[in-house]
Amino acid sequence: MALIREVITEYYRIPLPEIMEDAKHGLHTHFEVPIVKIKTDDGREGVGYTYTGGFGGKAICSLIANELTHILVGKDPSCVEGIWEQMNWGIHYVARGGLASFAIAACDIALWDLRATKAGEPLYKLLGGASNRVKCYGGAIDLNFPLEKLLRNNQKYLDMGLKAVKIKLGQKTLAEDVERVAAVRQLIGPDTTFMVDANMSWSVEKAIKAAREFLKYDILFLEEPTIPEDYAGYARIAEESGIAVAGGENLRTLTEFQHMLQYGHVDFPQPDASNVGGITGWLKVAHLTQAYNVSVSTHGMQELHVSLLAAMPNAGYLEMHSFPIDQYTTRPLVIDRETGMAIPPEEPGIGVVFDWEKLAPHKQAF
């Protein structure tokens, strides 16, 4: 039986190609990628990671290096669920959700990399293998884009073969948001799926008013119209506006997702493996969505989520995010140009192999 011999934590801070903005978090100039390498005493290595929008990455690395490493070393890496429980409850009292979910995620993903590599299976087959294609949309952080640039960016998605796009909302006036929605719908035509994302920036009343304005533009869903913990508010928005609501990227635990589904009436739950406790945490949420008879979609991290969604019979939409983690891997996300669908990797492991030479200039101490 192989045991975990060593846990290496690394921190990368990577500049974005251009400054990006959303309604709640403001301007983004960098994203962070904490990386975990778990080495076993039989010579194997699994690599896991998480990411942030530019803040908190050093704290995540510190939590891994100073707390989770002690839990991991000496354990049998095959016992992924058991280790996940030990990590969760080991730091639960001081770090439930929040940073803990990010830190646990990076470690958990490395354990799954070890498991899938040892099994000789690509992740999507190991987890279920429901399909080898996933619906995908282009989702830019584009609130600060002038209208012409917004349209050019969405044309880029169409040129890639994507059949779905999403834009950010939260301009100073609702009229500006409506103008942008109308312009994008005209650009993409009636057959392209269209989503919008308010990034938690509205009150419930404003969200209801805005959603009613968007109905005529055939919007698949309105994402995160208000703060994520207001489950009753989410239910009101869905029921009183007539538009489907998405959310979940800011939820960190299975119980929060249960409340969102039970009380918030969210039709498009969007767990993110990077912040919901890794692959193990994501799978718990995905199986919960089956019990509620809804699809499961994702937020960011497209290079990993493509495999997770491909495993699930109730797969919804994969978000192609503006934080280009996959540009620092050996296999950026692959899109079938004819169908607009994303294709999961077939190689054993999690399917995310970092290009260490590209990453090297961005490595920093934590």
Dihedral of the alpha carbons of 257, 261, 264, 270, in degrees to the nearest 10: 60
> Is 63 within 8 Å of 107 (Cβ atoms)?
no
Angle at which helix 278-291 crosses helix 302-311, to 10 degrees, equals 40
Contacts made by residues 209-214, CB under 8 angstroms, sequence distance 24+:
209/174, 210/169, 210/174, 210/177, 211/237, 211/241, 211/242, 211/243, 212/241, 212/242, 212/243, 213/174, 213/178, 214/178, 214/181, 214/243
Tokens encoding 121: 């299976």
Cβ-based neighbours of 153, under 8 Å, separated by 6 or more: 140, 142, 145
Residue of 28, 39, 168, 321 marked active site: 168
Q: Is 299 a catalytic residue?
A: yes
Tell me the DSSP string of 5-53.
EEEEEEEEEEEEEEEEEETTTEEEEEEEEEEEEEEETTS-EEEEE--BS
* 327: DSSP letter: G
Tokens encoding 28: 């983004």
* 260: DSSP letter: H
Residue of 265, 299, 305, 321 marked active site: 299
Q: Is 168 a catalytic residue?
A: yes
Active site residues: 168, 299
